[in-house]
């Protein structure tokens, strides 16, 4: 591990944390996953091939840790401790609260996606990887990846009709 | 005219159509009356996803495990090579080989210094956050500054409440700047059984 490589790795932390939040559904679990991913990366840094994408490599490590965990215990949601919105009602942050509750619905939608659609959707729609890069990261044929993303998006659109999306858009934040 | 399926619409939004298909798709957007609405519906779900997960990218990042630079920095440039060269050419170009070695060591030390400054920032930030949440009355700003990096910030508990699980929680404002870059966020943190304040929600302040 060189300081340069470590700087490049640490620069990925916010994005890895976002991916981990999408996968696990809670910030606590996300931080735990990110921590574990960095530990594994430090231990296996010689397995990373210079010239290949460092972010894809880290996404892959993180996702495989996540998969191992949900296989060994049903971890999803077990760390969720939602803040009770009733205790937050104050005039100055009501707007922020409305926005955050809408986003909580979107997060709930991500939570309900089948595991294999979730990772594909997050890598492409949130992390901005190309279909090719995401397929390589998840070790999938590109056709499989494309259809998973399409299915996840179709669900998002149908559930968005409940009004969550529209209300969010109406909020000028 | 091609009737586009959902997968193609999504691939278009994700920037994954090749040039020909993309141009054709954009022509269809002009001529197919139903297509723009279908595209918009998908575009919206992508933006919402990003917005919903944005809290993970803001706020104080948890500290990371520290790699051991001293041990593992060596393999990139085997230490014996410069030394062997230095030994072989000592009698002709001692000065320049020395210069090379010293130069490399200074560059490595610079990188390590940047990394340690960033680590120091996050250590000070986290310690200040914990102290402010644990000990300060609401409304009192607690400032921190790392003279080495120039980063500075403040944490201000805003109000305190108990959540459903009977944990103490506090709403806080936090701002931070390094040079000309700054950000301000608000959030909520709750005190866990070990007495650590854990961030539960973060949102941008106006």
User: What is residue A36's predicted lDDT score, i.e. its pLDDT?
Assistant: 94
Same domain, A101 and A172: yes
d(CA B27, CA B19): 12
pLDDT tens by residue, B93-128 = 333 333 444 444 445 555 666 677 777 888 888 899
Angle at A122 between CA A120 and CA A128, to 5 degrees: 100
Identify the band that residue A113 occupies on the pLDDT scale cut at 50, 70 and 90. confident
Of B53, B54, B58, B51, the closest CA to residue B174 belongs to B58
Last residue of a domain, one of A55, A80, A105: A80
Rg (Cα) of chain B, in Å, rounded? 27
Residue B91 has pLDDT above 90, yes or no: no
pLDDT greater at residue B173 or residue B206: B173
Return the percentage of chain A with pLDDT > 70, whole number: 72
Same domain, A92 and A143: yes
Contact B57 A46 (CB under 8 A): no
Residue in B closest to A110 by C-alpha: B49
User: What is residue A31's predicted lDDT score, i.e. its pLDDT?
Assistant: 93
Q: Look up the domain containing A67 and give its range.
A: 1-80
Identify the band that residue A97 occupies on the pLDDT scale cut at 50, 70 and 90. low
Of B13, B15, B14, B12, the closest CA to residue B24 belongs to B12
Residue A83 has pLDDT above 70, yes or no: no
Residue B4 has pLDDT above 70, yes or no: yes
User: What is residue B81's predicted lDDT score, i.e. its pLDDT?
Assistant: 40
Residue in A closest to B170 by C-alpha: A88
End-to-end CA distance of chain B, in Å?
Answer: 47
Q: Is the pTM of this model over 0.80?
A: no
Strand order of the sheet with strand B197-204? B142-146, B151-162, B168-178, B181-191, B197-204
Residue A79 has pLDDT above 50, yes or no: no
Biggest distance spanned by C-alpha atoms of chain B:
82
Q: Which of these ranges, A2-16, A77-91, B51-65, has the smallest mean pLDDT?
A: A77-91
Same domain, A135 and A114: yes
d(CA B130, CA B165): 20
CATH code where residue A14 lies: 1.10.1740.10
User: What is residue B206's predicted lDDT score, i.e. its pLDDT?
Assistant: 38
CATH code where residue A138 lies: 1.10.10.10
ipTM: 0.70
d(CA B190, CA B193): 10
Tokens, residue B6: 């959902």
Q: Give me the residue from A13, A15, A153 closest to B64, CB to CB.
A: A13
Residue A53 has pLDDT above 60, yes or no: yes
Rg (Cα) of chain A, in Å, rounded? 18
Residue A93 has pLDDT above 80, yes or no: no
pLDDT tens by residue, B38-86 = 777 777 677 778 878 887 887 778 888 877 764 443 334 334 444 444 4
Q: In chain A, how many domains are there?
A: 2
Contact B7 A149 (CB under 8 A): yes
Same domain, A100 and A70: no
Task: Determine the distance in angstroms separating the CA of A170 from the nearest CA of chain B, rounded to an integer.
Answer: 12
Same domain, A26 and A100: no
Residue A16 has pLDDT above 90, yes or no: yes
B169 Cβ contact list (under 8 Å, min separation 6) = A83, A87, B160, B161, B162, B163, B188, B189, B190, B191, B200
Last residue of a domain, one of A53, A80, A107: A80
User: What is residue B132's predicted lDDT score, i.e. its pLDDT?
Assistant: 92
| Mutation choice for A interface testing from B52, B76, B118 by most A CBs within 10 A | B52
Q: Is A59 exposed, middle or buried (0-12, 13-18, 19+ CB in 10 A)?
A: buried
Task: Determine the distance in angstroms separating the CA of A102 from the nearest CA of chain B, rounded to an integer.
Answer: 8
pLDDT greater at residue A163 or residue A102: A102
The HSE-up count of residue B178 (CA atoms within 13 Å, CB side) is: 10
Tell me, yes or no, if A130 comes closer than 8 A to chain B by beta carbon: yes
Residue A94 has pLDDT above 70, yes or no: no
Tokens, residue B122: 């996050």
Same domain, A125 and A160: yes
Task: Determine the distance in angstroms separating the CA of B117 from the nearest CA of chain A, rounded to an integer.
Answer: 12
pLDDT tens by residue, B142-173 = 999 988 888 889 999 888 877 777 888 888 88
Contact A18 B111 (CB under 8 A): no
Residue A59 has pLDDT above 50, yes or no: yes
Of A99, A107, A117, the closest CA to residue A153 belongs to A117
pLDDT greater at residue A156 or residue B18: B18
Last residue of a domain, one of A39, A58, A80: A80
Residue in B closest to A151 by C-alpha: B7
Task: Determine the distance in angstroms separating the CA of B21 from the nearest CA of chain A, rounded to an integer.
Answer: 15
pLDDT greater at residue A24 or residue A4: A24
Same domain, A112 and A72: no
User: What is residue B143's predicted lDDT score, i.e. its pLDDT?
Assistant: 92
Same domain, A40 and A96: no
Residue in B closest to A127 by C-alpha: B50
User: What is residue A21's predicted lDDT score, i.e. its pLDDT?
Assistant: 92
Return the percentage of chain B with pLDDT > 90, whole number: 6
């Amino acid at each position: 591990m060189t300081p340069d490589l470590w700087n490049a790795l640490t620069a990925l932390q916010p994005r890895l944390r976002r991916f981990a939040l999408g996968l696990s559904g809670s910030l606590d679990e996300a931080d735990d996953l990110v921590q574990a991913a960095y530990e594994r990366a430090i231990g296996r840094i010689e397995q990373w091939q210079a010239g290949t994408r460092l972010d894809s490599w880290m996404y892959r490590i993180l996702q495989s840790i996540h998969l191992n965990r949900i296989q060994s215990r049903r971890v999803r949601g077990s760390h969720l401790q939602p803040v009770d919105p009733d205790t937050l009602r104050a005039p100055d942050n009501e707007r922020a609260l409305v926005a955050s509750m809408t986003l909580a619905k979107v997060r709930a939608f991500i939570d309900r996606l089948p595991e294999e659609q979730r990772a594909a959707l997050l890598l492409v729609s949130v992390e901005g990887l190309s279909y090719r890069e995401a397929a390589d990261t998840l070790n999938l044929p590109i056709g499989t990846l494309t259809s998973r993303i399409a299915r996840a998006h179709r669900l998002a659109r149908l559930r968005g009709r409940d009004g969550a999306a529209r209300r969010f858009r109406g909020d000028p934040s | 005219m091609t009737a586009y399926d959902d997968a193609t619409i999504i691939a278009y939004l994700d920037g994954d159509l090749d040039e020909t298909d993309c141009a054709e798709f954009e022509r269809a957007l002009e001529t197919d009356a139903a297509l723009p609405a279908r595209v918009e519906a998908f575009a919206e779900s992508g933006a919402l996803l990003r917005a919903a997960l944005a809290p993970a990218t803001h706020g104080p990042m948890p500290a990371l495990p520290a790699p051991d630079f001293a041990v593992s920095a060596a393999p990139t440039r085997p230490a014996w090579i410069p030394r062997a060269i230095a030994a072989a050419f000592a009698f002709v170009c001692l000065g320049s080989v020395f210069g090379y070695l010293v130069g490399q060591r200074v560059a490595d030390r610079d990188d390590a210094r940047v990394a340690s400054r960033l680590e120091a920032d996050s250590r000070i930030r986290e310690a200040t956050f914990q102290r402010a949440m644990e000990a300060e009355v609401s409304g009192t700003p607690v400032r921190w500054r790392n003279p080495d990096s120039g980063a500075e910030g403040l944490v201000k508990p805003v109000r305190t409440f108990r959540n459903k699980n009977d944990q103490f929680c506090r709403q806080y404002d936090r701002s931070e700047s390094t040079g000309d870059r700054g950000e301000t966020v608000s959030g909520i943190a709750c005190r866990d059984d070990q007495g650590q304040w854990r961030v539960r929600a973060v949102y941008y302040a106006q």
